[in-house]
Structure 1
Amino acid sequence: MIGNIELPKSLRALCNTYQVEEDREGESPADVFKLTSNSETLYLKIGHQKFSNTTYSIAREKDVILWLNQQIKVPEILDYLENDKHQFLLMKQLEGEALYEKQETNPHEFVDTFAEAINQLQAIEITILRTELGD
C-alpha cells in the first residue's frame, strides 16, 4: 500500500525494494511516487479510474508515450496495470535536466533549448497519433 492506495501484488513487491517518496511536482490529479535504489530511479504514476475517459487517463498517457518513443526521447515504460479503482504506470527516470531548471540560471540556453523542443514536437505527424488513439 502507498498512501491509501492498494497496489497490485507485483508493484507492492517492487516498492518493498526501493525507497519510495511522493512526488508533488506535477499538475495532473494522479498520484506520483519516486522509487529510488542505488542503481536507478523509477516513477510510479497512479490514476483513479474515474479519469479513464479523460485526458488525465494513465492508459492514454501510456499509449502516447509508447507512440512518441518512435519520434522523440521519452521515459521507458516498465509496466502498466489496472484494477477496478486505479491505473498504474511504472517508468524509468529519463536522464537529463528539466528545462525549467535552465530558466533562471541560463535564460539564453533556456530559450534555445525550448525552441529546439518545440521544433521537435512540431515535426511529429499528429494525424497518425489521432488515428492510433482513436480520436
Structure 2
Amino acid sequence: RLNGPIPSELGSLSKLRRLDLSYNSISGSIPSALGKLSNLNELDLSTNNLNGIIPDTLGDLKYLGTLALDKNSLNGSIPSELGSLSKLKFLDLSSNNLTGSIPSELGRLSNLEELDLSSNNLNCSIPNTLGNLSNLVYL
C-alpha cells in the first residue's frame, strides 16, 4: 500500500492520461499541481486518507472524463471550477466532509452520467441547473 503525501512533482507528467492511486493509505492534501496534467482522462484518488480542500485547479483538466475523490476526509466546498470539465462523465465526491452548497456551475457538465455527492455535510438545495444534465443516469 502506498502511503504518505502525493508529490506535487507528479504535476509535471504532461503526457499522463490516467492517475489511479485508489485504495491506498495516501495522506495529506491533493496538490494543486495536479491541475497541470493537461492530458489526464481519469483521476482516481478514492479510498485514501486525503484531507484538505479540493483544489480549484482540477477545473483545468479539460480532457478529464472521470474524477473520483470519494471515501476520503476532504473538507471545504465543492469548487465551482469543476463546472469547466466539459468532458466529465463520472464525478464521485461521496463520503467526505464537504460543506457548503452544490455549485450551480455543475449544471454545465453536459456529458455527465453519474454524480455522487452522498455522505457529506452539504447544507443546501439541489440547484435547478442540474436539470440541464440530460445524460445523467445516477444522482
TM-score (norm 1): 0.24
Return the structure number with greater helix share.
1
Larger Rg: 1
TM-score (norm 2): 0.23
